[in-house]
Structure 1
Amino acid sequence: MSSAPSPGIFQPLKADDPEVVGGYRLAAVLGAGGMGKVYLSYTPGGRPIAIKVIRSEFGEDPEFRRRFQQEVRSAERVQGLYTAPVIDSDTEGAQPWLATAYVPGPSLAHAVAHHGALPPRSVLLLAVGVAEALTVIHGAGIVHRDLKPANVLLASDGPRVIDFGIARAADTTALTSTGVSIGTPAFMAPEQASAGTITPATDVFALGQIAAFAAIGSSVYGDGPSHAVLYRIVHEAPDLGGLPEELRPLVTRCLSRDPADRPALTEVIALCNEAAGTEPLRQGEDWLPRAVAGSITERVQLLPAPAPTPPPRPAAPVPTEVSAQPPAPGYTPTGLAAAAPHAAPTHAAAPTHAAPTQAAPAQPGPNTPPPGYGTPPPYGQPTQPSYQQPSYGYPQQPRPQPAYAQPTYSQPGPTQPGWGQPGYPPAPAKPKRTGLIVTLSVVGAVIGLAVLGSLLPDSDKGGTGAQPKGGSSASAAPGGSEQRTDPQPVAYKGIDVPENHQLMLADNPPRPAKKEGGGGVMYDGGDLYYYRDSMFGDEKFGSANGKLVLLNNAEKGSLETCRAVTRFTEKIGLDQLTDGSQVCVLSDAGHIAVATFRGRSGAKEPSRYITLDLQIWRNAEEAKKD
């Protein structure tokens, strides 16, 4: 493979890229993916950082925001030697973002694409570093879920695992349920691809895939359409034909189809040291081939400088109103209008209703103001408060405020010559027609009441106008029928639902029942069920007779909320639920319920079950016909 400089390592910002994110000025674009876009920036002390700005589609999803906040809090606890630490974030802004330390090295995907497969010793050092990173990540309660070559960066002193936990924030949100896939098919585990089950062993399978990819230069499950790759992962054995012999024990164990047969991370490290033979594994400057190490040096040399901080913008000039009279000879204006005459619009004439504008007369006269009267204020003090409140020409004297909030400028009409000019009396006030205005107002009110009365229904004329009692009004519907009134809710506390049992909302009280079905399915036809796959450990809270909506923290479970939300699904993994999580249940039979999750059985209890509180509105909607 060529070792020529890689173009486009640092891409310039485009017109649709922000200049600043969270107070950090952006210097370049590092890349983009399914979750968002990554930018280069710097801390105030000059350290480079990578800022990942989440796509607006995810930011608009309340469930994603709730999960993203949880994952960021967990990620902040991850401080391993082989991870890029989180140093700043904003989970509540208009567009969430996450800042991590910048790693000046290519991703494993980039390195293999440009320089080919890595030698076996580099692969072993890669696997050891990733295993240590996963140990810290799992210790913080996080499963990566999307461990792939693009999320492993190659630094001069070892690998760095990035983007841990972020994929979980997007999993099963409204966006992913409509077709946006999180996770790379070629590096998914069989249980993840078939049933969506995620455990720490899922990341171990991905580690084995990464090691094989680094050693062979391609995926051991081949390329092609996603569904074809996923089928091979679930049903076929990996192609290890080009794998070096010393790496086979490690990769074969990690790629076990059964999660229980995969090694723990401590065993992964032991297998790597065993494969290294007599020479112990030590991370150092020479752990990568020279061509890959050269690309790290290239990135350091090409690193863009921090974006310059723009100079502060000058204060906007304050407009100054000038008189229609020319200034007297020798008069020199001071203040903002004199300093920047081009920046302040002027009024050629005072509004017809305004008091006359005072000009500086050349000679004293009967209307000459006292010394200092009408003199513009010093520089920096505006002579006119704003465009909405123009100066009335007497800035130095208190004057009564006009009776209206916003003066209106009428077109000037014929006036007597001299009115409004110095030396002439002010224009006479126009007579007020208050009597006519009051009379017209009364007449208009009477007419309006008469029209309103004619539009009221006959049942309200001469009556109380009261509506029927109930959750909603029972108004007349087309055809003479009345709309359905909302039923009163019934509540049931602490219902224990054993695994592979179902509930029917019409039952009073709802009792868990075991519905035998073909193929081991125990929940066909149930409004609610709790299902656990004994083989994969997959636990689902679902409905086979309706739709579910997992409410976020900002949504309160109620009949109105359940009628309004539309993020429908039929199954929700128990790993998405915490104590107090609320789920809307919309049964095809017309019943609506809010199910509040109250926990599950303990590990030492003889049976598995979940506990629910139910609030049910029976027959709240028309039943759906088959």
Structure 2
Amino acid sequence: MSGAPSGEPFQPLGDDDPAVVGGYRLAAVLGAGGMGKVYLSFTPGGRPVALKVIRSEFSQDPEFRRRFQREVQSAQRVQGLYTAPVIDFDTDGARPWLATAYVPGPSLAEAVSTYGALPLRSVLLLTVGAAEALHVIHAAGIVHRDLKPANVLLAPDGPRVIDFGIARAADNTALTGTGVSVGTPSFMAPEQAAGGTVTPATDIFALGQIAAYAAIGAPAYGGGPSHAVLYRIVHEEPDLSRLPSELRPLVARCLSREPAERPALTEVIDLCHGLSTDPLRQGGDWLPQTLAGSLTARQHLPEPVRTPPPALPTPTAYSPQPPPPGGVDPYAPTGFGPASAPTQTAPGRPGTAPAGPGFPPAPPPVVSGQQNWAPPPPPRRKKNRGLVIAGAVAAAVIGLAVINALLPDGSGKDGSGKDNAKQPTAGSSGGASGGKRPDPQPAEYKGIDLTENYFVMLADNPPRPTSKDGNPGFSSKGDVFYQPRVLNVVERDEIGTGNGKLVLLQSGQQGSLDTCRSETRYSESIRLDQLSDGSQLCVLSDAGHIAVATYRGKSGANDPSKYITLDLTIWRNAEDPQKKG
């Protein structure tokens, strides 16, 4: 999915484009690609975002949805200076989408197509910026897999790498054999083209391709049919004769067919600095003047289109002033959009303002382009104020007498002598006084050895590691589980939850019930390499239980089984259960 199409940077919305996605009001079309369409929108604070809506064909594939959710959550951890960070997403809706920071610049593909090859200094700055971006992406356990000119944007202050890891969600799904193209053959590595193992070295091959494309204005392996390009990538050497002589050794090493022979990213950066006569510093002069001047148009952003609301009906004879409309603005924001305050229907997800105390009743909807308002009723005849008050007092006295007769006496027994006093439950508010219910007493469990692919439930007393159906294997229903995972061929161990939220406490924070209740830095998994002996994390289960898990280390290399050790302090029924659905 590219950041912008060729030609004008902002295209108007078409008839088949939605007006609002996930509460974001769309302003223009930025581009389209194999996986979906990209729109311009804004956050409530006015910051522009690129909102990417996935194609319906992918949306109908459950395996794609599962992978897409995992990859987007991984991409949220990437916060490099040369990337466009993911700021919001929805993987469960009818059309999955994600929003990233908007980059006011063309893609490398568009820039080369319009202005031709870049000068050597621009190529070097492009290469070191993209290499630094890949370094941050790989550190998050992600392999980009689809680094190509359309996924490198040229901002005024340096390049930005986008769409890292997202292409993996489409690999090996039902769509890969139906003619839907996701990758770009001209920029694949040999092992990728041959269906082999993809590693971080795969991205270094693509980085060499990016440098060559920027310097000569064409792919290093030429064009033509996809199968012909892939054959040359796997079996032949690239034609680097048109490259500046200074770049040839670096690009040739990046394009080695053997992944082990390609340089590390730090080495790529050092070699680029060695090739430049001046220090490589990103800034407003990193691009040629003709290209830099074209960026101005991308900084004048269009606003979301608002169609004027329909005219109000003519006032009636008994309504001397125009009555206020009872309908709603069909273009008013419905949630997390630029002209509305964010309102919540579920934690972390924008929606419509709720009804209830402090909120006005919902207005009637707009029907057939008319505002559905009703004229005020004719004025009523005034009643005798004294009689009304006297009647209300009498009714109140009678009502209190009836209620007192029906209530049990202070002993909690009715006329039959049966004890009817209600004890406050875990979900009650603490009795008739309406006060806050008392906090549950903590239960402590030391030295729980949690084997890989096993989980514990906080409600169990004591919490015993178990597995799905009694067989070794991972279950997403666990409150706390330990699982080794492979993400884009990068293996890492994680503590996770399939039934709630986790919060890794910072140094200096003391794990307690109040701390866990106040924290909002939620996650569904935490890597073991983020933990040391004594690290604490909060576990907030959907069933209402809260725990502080203290990490005590993992099994040694010589242990016959692989496990981690946890101390658990559990407050059961500390909160109301989360409603599902």
TM normalised by structure 2 equals 0.54
Provide closer, same or farther for how the CA distance between residues 127 and 185 of structure 1 changes in structure 2, counting only shifts above 3 A: same
Alpha-carbon distance in structure 1 between the residues aligned to 2:120 and 2:8:
29
User: Amino acid of the residue matched to residue 291 of structure 1?
Assistant: T
2:25 corresponds in structure 1 to 25
2:50 partner SS:
strand
Correspondence 1:1-40 to 2 at 5 A: 7-40=7-40
2:279 corresponds in structure 1 to 280
Alpha-carbon distance in structure 1 between the residues aligned to 2:132 and 2:556:
28
2:169 partner SS:
helix
User: Amino acid of the residue matched to residue 300 of structure 1?
Assistant: Q
User: Amino acid of the residue matched to residue 294 of structure 2?
Assistant: S
Alpha-carbon distance in structure 2 between the residues aligned to 1:86 and 1:210:
23
Alpha-carbon distance in structure 1 between the residues aligned to 2:14 and 2:222:
35
Q: Do structure 1's residue 290 and structure 2's residue 289 form an aligned pair?
A: yes
User: Amino acid of the residue matched to residue 42 of structure 2?
Assistant: Y
Larger relative contact order (C-alpha < 8 A, sep ≥ 6)? 2
User: Amino acid of the residue matched to residue 298 of structure 2?
Assistant: R
2:231 corresponds in structure 1 to 231
Query: Which of the residues 301, 304, 315 maps onto 2:302?
Result: 304
Deviations 1:41-75 (A, max 9, x none): 11122221110000011011111111111111111
User: Amino acid of the residue matched to residue 283 of structure 2?
Assistant: G
Correspondence 1:397-436 to 2 at 5 A: none
Correspondence 1:542-557 to 2 at 5 A: none
Alpha-carbon distance in structure 2 between the residues aligned to 1:199 and 1:309:
50
Q: Could you tell me how far 1:177 is from its partner in structure 2? A: 3.4
User: Amino acid of the residue matched to residue 69 of structure 2?
Assistant: Q
2:302 partner SS:
coil
Alpha-carbon distance in structure 1 between the residues aligned to 2:247 and 2:272:
8
Correspondence 1:113-128 to 2 at 5 A: 113-128=113-128
User: Amino acid of the residue matched to residue 50 of structure 2?
Assistant: A
1:173 corresponds in structure 2 to 173
Q: Do structure 1's residue 256 and structure 2's residue 256 form an aligned pair?
A: yes
The alignment of Structure 1 onto Structure 2 pairs a total of residues equal to 340
Provide closer, same or farther for how the CA distance between residues 309 and 178 of structure 1 changes in structure 2, counting only shifts above 3 A: same
CA contact (8 A) 1:221 1:239 kept: yes
Q: Could you tell me how far 1:182 is from its partner in structure 2? A: 1.9
User: Amino acid of the residue matched to residue 307 of structure 1?
Assistant: V
1:72 corresponds in structure 2 to 72
Q: Do structure 1's residue 144 and structure 2's residue 162 form an aligned pair?
A: no
User: Amino acid of the residue matched to residue 127 of structure 2?
Assistant: A
User: Amino acid of the residue matched to residue 107 of structure 1?
Assistant: S
1:454 corresponds in structure 2 to none
Alpha-carbon distance in structure 2 between the residues aligned to 1:19 and 1:286:
37
2:246 corresponds in structure 1 to 246
User: Amino acid of the residue matched to residue 191 of structure 2?
Assistant: E
User: Amino acid of the residue matched to residue 136 of structure 1?
Assistant: V
Q: Could you tell me how far 1:493 is from its partner in structure 2? A: 6.7
Provide closer, same or farther for how the CA distance between residues 179 and 538 of structure 1 changes in structure 2, counting only shifts above 3 A: farther
Where structure 2 has 5 or more consecutive residues not aligned to the other structure, the ranges are 328-373, 379-468, 474-488, 492-497, 499-554, 559-581
Alpha-carbon distance in structure 2 between the residues aligned to 1:198 and 1:312:
56
2:100 partner SS:
strand
Deviations 1:64-97 (A, max 9, x none): 1111111111111111100011111111110000
CA contact (8 A) 2:144 2:164 kept: yes
Deviations 1:227-271 (A, max 9, x none): 000000000000001000111121011101000111111111111
Deviations 1:74-123 (A, max 9, x none): 11111110001111111111000011111111110011011010011110
1:253 partner SS:
helix
Deviations 1:258-304 (A, max 9, x none): 00111111111111111114x22111110100111011112224x21
User: Amino acid of the residue matched to residue 94 of structure 1?
Assistant: A
The structure having more radius of gyration, on CA atoms, is 1
CA contact (8 A) 1:52 1:98 kept: yes
Provide closer, same or farther for how the CA distance between residues 122 and 137 of structure 1 changes in structure 2, counting only shifts above 3 A: same
Deviations 1:565-591 (A, max 9, x none): xxxxxxxxxxxxxxxxxxxxxxxxxxx
1:41 partner SS:
strand
CA contact (8 A) 1:117 1:214 kept: yes
1:360 corresponds in structure 2 to none
Provide closer, same or farther for how the CA distance between residues 128 and 538 of structure 1 changes in structure 2, counting only shifts above 3 A: closer
Q: Do structure 1's residue 86 and structure 2's residue 99 form an aligned pair?
A: no
Provide closer, same or farther for how the CA distance between residues 23 and 246 of structure 1 changes in structure 2, counting only shifts above 3 A: same
2:131 corresponds in structure 1 to 131
User: Amino acid of the residue matched to residue 282 of structure 2?
Assistant: Q
TM normalised by structure 1 equals 0.50
Q: Could you tell me how far 1:165 is from its partner in structure 2? A: 1.1
CA contact (8 A) 1:153 1:161 kept: yes
Alpha-carbon RMSD across the aligned residues, in angstroms, is 3.5
User: Amino acid of the residue matched to residue 14 of structure 2?
Assistant: K
Alpha-carbon distance in structure 2 between the residues aligned to 1:214 and 1:89:
32
Q: Could you tell me how far 1:306 is from its partner in structure 2? A: 3.8
CA contact (8 A) 2:107 2:152 kept: yes
Correspondence 1:392-471 to 2 at 5 A: none
CA contact (8 A) 2:28 2:304 kept: no
CA contact (8 A) 2:142 2:490 kept: no
User: Amino acid of the residue matched to residue 90 of structure 2?
Assistant: D
Alpha-carbon distance in structure 1 between the residues aligned to 2:224 and 2:95:
34
CA contact (8 A) 1:249 1:271 kept: no
CA contact (8 A) 1:197 1:538 kept: no
User: Amino acid of the residue matched to residue 305 of structure 1?
Assistant: E
User: Amino acid of the residue matched to residue 26 of structure 1?
Assistant: L
User: Amino acid of the residue matched to residue 193 of structure 1?
Assistant: A
User: Amino acid of the residue matched to residue 304 of structure 1?
Assistant: P
CA contact (8 A) 2:148 2:210 kept: yes
Alpha-carbon distance in structure 2 between the residues aligned to 1:493 and 1:98:
37
